[in-house]
Structure 1
Amino acid sequence: MNNYTAYIGEQLRALTAIPSPSGFTKEAASYLLKTFTDMGFQPELSIKGNVLVPIGGDGDPLVLAAHIDTLGAMVRSIKDNGRLRPTTLGGHQWRTADGENCTVHTRDGHVYTGVVLDSEPSSHVADEKIEQSEEHMEILLDENVSSKKETLTLGIQTGDIIAMDPRTVITKSGYIKSRFLDDKLSAAILLGLAKAVKEEGLSLNRRVSLLFTVYEEVGHGGCVIPADTREMISVDMGCVGADLGCTEHMVSICAKDSGGPYNYDLITALTEIAKSQNLDFAIDIYPHYISDVEATLRAGYDIRHGLVGPGVYASHNYERSHMDGVANTFRLLRTYITR
């Protein structure tokens, strides 16, 4: 497993280094297409931008889904002083991004760096701290601009993408710190699973496909899947926090979230595997969570559905997990598709 965790770590670094807020995922999808092709698989790119990768097996089709789109922002307008007013992509929390470095991506291919700050960030100037809400946040470009006209001259316009720096770190003790572990950590785990299938010639107990979606953070990433799918598991972050059993070292098996209960028999089967393999796991309920597979159900597909993933602390923030959680999630999925 050590070789696969190292590979998963490498893939996480590669994926987080590619800016991919919802609606701006072509480069991340292209990376997956090349990586899976180089492995010997035949990935497919949908019109929408999702990447589907059949990895083997026959009958009773199963889809394992992770998303490669992230939270981010878009230029809403350019202020008279040349700074950018942003609008949120996904459930982005501005209080977690105050002071963060970022990049601005124009439609003609230019990339500019900048910093996210509220409109009066200096404690030596402001009488009161300004609320860190969207209307008070702005992007200061690392360019010599002080007017709307000067910023427009750079080619920046309304609708350009703003991506926060991920700051990915994997410590010697196994802790993983980064923005966008939701859900690039699970995407990296699926890459590791595919590598194991290919290198070890694993015999799969059904037809298994990996699906990487690109609009999960805005609610419709998993709306289209192969028509004959019987079962789908979202491989997404497990929540760590108050009233939850999961830690960063565990694999989370979600019984219910804001969209309702997951398939009872599937959750039972995953739990029995976790027990039989002596995995460190927790069954939890997430009151403020909805996954790709629920978008699939709402699109009308008649499937069994589940949600698992490594424990991630401080979701939609600068997040933290651990390689133990990666290993437990990897082993759960590997056993489920080969037992």
Structure 2
Amino acid sequence: MTNKNTEETMKLLVDLVSIPSPSGNTNEVISYVEKYLAELKVETRRNRKGGLIATLDGKDSSQHRMLTAHVDTLGAMVKEIKSNGRLKIDLIGGFKFNSIEGEYCQIETSTGKKFTGTILMHQTSVHVYKDAGKAERNQENIEVRIDEKVHNAQEVRALGIEVGDFVSFDPRVEVTPSGFIKSRHLDDKASVAILLQLMKQLKEENIQLPYTTHFLISNNEEIGYGGNSNITPETVEYLAVDMGAMGDGQSTDEYTVSICVKDASGPYHYALRKNLVRLAEENNIEYKLDIYPFYGSDASAAIRSGHDIVHGLIGPGIDSSHAFERTHESSIENTAKLLYHYVQSNLVI
């Protein structure tokens, strides 16, 4: 992978995180990916769940590979319109209320109107509320302050806002001169950008893969079932490309590709893991092996749904997952290099 390819991936990533796509409302970002691949003349189709499947024909069409990355993100829905003109929200995905306190957001109505707002504690003002710092960050206390002149629920409904409208969070994306990208939703739009750039590179270099390979851009991973369907009967290997989780006791960092050996679903396929390590070492790719204790992927969802496949999980290392995330261009590059060599390698069984 050249510096030019990495720069293009970073630019693509900025575009992707800037498109709101909480689980359940992903059509806009799927359309963006669809258009990107159409310009590369890559065959795609949508599944009934709204995800996108791209296919590159290989020399062997009797055995297939599938790679996945998910474009859906954490988000929220309007749960209640309060009498003070503010909104209670219900969370979409596994994160905590404290991670979105103070965040700018967007409310999209069922008719497509969009309104901005801020997610705040009801007891925010220290000049009014003695317990401003101690009150629990939960659904009862967190609310959305809409940037419109509203004083009650009736005025909010007059705008077209209703229970069930989607709430997305401002990504606050920034690429630093030192090569970091910090933003919400790097999980898993970093991996989506890497897969899109991989397909572009394969097309530009006119590489025919050894096996027909499908790329599933899934849209329900954050709620547990993004990649458990549309797996062809010929599929032998299934590799999820998702974030590497960082924290105390973890080996994953922001500079290498993380190869997951086990998560909450159990161990990933041993032979596939060893093949990924071999490819990394043979091609001077920096990697870390790791276990993610509170984690599941599209690959583990596929196994749970009964598919007879070899499954694996790799991805760039992401700091502060499900909050204000950050990674470095070197982690993007190492992940991309491993995938480039993986899709050209032999199956493990």
Alignment correspondent of 2:216: 211
In structure 2, what is the Cα distance between the partners aligned to 1:239 and 1:56? 33
Alignment correspondent of 1:180: 185
Among 42, 62, 66, the alignment partner of 2:65 is 62
Alignment correspondent of 1:120: 123
In structure 2, what is the Cα distance between the partners aligned to 1:285 and 1:111? 40
- Tell me the alpha carbon deviations over residues 153-195 of structure 1, each in whole angstroms, 9 at most, x when there is no partner: 0000000000000011111111010000000000000011001
Alignment correspondent of 1:21: 22
State how 1:41-56 maps to structure 2 within 5 Å. Answer: 41-56=42-57
Among 85, 88, 92, the alignment partner of 1:89 is 92
In structure 2, what is the Cα distance between the partners aligned to 1:245 and 1:294? 21
Q: CA offset at residue 297 of structure 1? A: 1.0
Alignment correspondent of 1:324: 330
Alignment correspondent of 2:111: 108
State how 1:1-339 maps to structure 2 within 5 Å. Answer: 1-57=2-58, 58-59=60-61, 60-128=63-131, 129=133, 130-224=135-229, 225-339=231-345
Q: CA offset at residue 94 of structure 1? A: 1.3
Task: Kindly provide the amino acid, as one letter, of the partner of residue 31 in structure 1.
Answer: Y
Q: TM-score, normalised by structure 1?
A: 0.98
- Which secondary structure state, in structure 2, belongs to the residue aligned with residue 256 of structure 1? strand
Task: Kindly provide the amino acid, as one letter, of the partner of residue 275 in structure 2.
Answer: A
Asked if the contact 1:183–1:236 (Cα under 8 Å) also holds between the matched residues in 2, the reply is yes
- Tell me the alpha carbon deviations over residues 250-287 of structure 1, each in whole angstroms, 9 at most, x when there is no partner: 10000000000000000010011111112111000010
- Which secondary structure state, in structure 2, belongs to the residue aligned with residue 66 of structure 1? strand
- Which secondary structure state, in structure 1, belongs to the residue aligned with residue 32 of structure 2? helix
Q: CA offset at residue 55 of structure 1? A: 2.1
Q: Percent identity?
A: 42
Task: Kindly provide the amino acid, as one letter, of the partner of residue 85 in structure 2.
Answer: G
Task: Kindly provide the amino acid, as one letter, of the partner of residue 13 in structure 1.
Answer: V
- Higher mean alpha-carbon deviation, 149-158 vs 10-19, is at 10-19
- Tell me the alpha carbon deviations over residues 80-121 of structure 1, each in whole angstroms, 9 at most, x when there is no partner: 011000000011321111000000000011000000001111
In structure 1, what is the Cα distance between the partners aligned to 2:35 and 2:290? 36
In structure 2, what is the Cα distance between the partners aligned to 1:42 and 1:92? 35
Q: TM-score, normalised by structure 2?
A: 0.95
Asked if the contact 1:204–1:338 (Cα under 8 Å) also holds between the matched residues in 2, the reply is yes
Q: Which runs of 5+ in 2 are unaligned?
A: none
Q: CA offset at residue 135 of structure 1? A: 2.2
Q: CA offset at residue 52 of structure 1? A: 0.3
- Which secondary structure state, in structure 2, belongs to the residue aligned with residue 76 of structure 1? strand
Asked if the contact 1:68–1:183 (Cα under 8 Å) also holds between the matched residues in 2, the reply is yes
In structure 2, what is the Cα distance between the partners aligned to 1:199 and 1:82? 53
- Higher mean alpha-carbon deviation, 218-227 vs 310-319, is at 218-227
Q: Which runs of 5+ in 1 are unaligned?
A: none
Q: CA offset at residue 17 of structure 1? A: 1.1
- Which secondary structure state, in structure 2, belongs to the residue aligned with residue 133 of structure 1? coil
- Higher mean alpha-carbon deviation, 323-332 vs 241-250, is at 241-250
- Which secondary structure state, in structure 2, belongs to the residue aligned with residue 53 of structure 1? strand
Task: Kindly provide the amino acid, as one letter, of the partner of residue 16 in structure 1.
Answer: V
- Tell me the alpha carbon deviations over residues 12-53 of structure 1, each in whole angstroms, 9 at most, x when there is no partner: 111111100000001111111111001111111111111000
RMSD, matched Cα: 0.9
Asked if the contact 1:258–1:290 (Cα under 8 Å) also holds between the matched residues in 2, the reply is yes
Task: Kindly provide the amino acid, as one letter, of the partner of residue 39 in structure 1.
Answer: L
Q: Report how many residues are paired.
A: 339
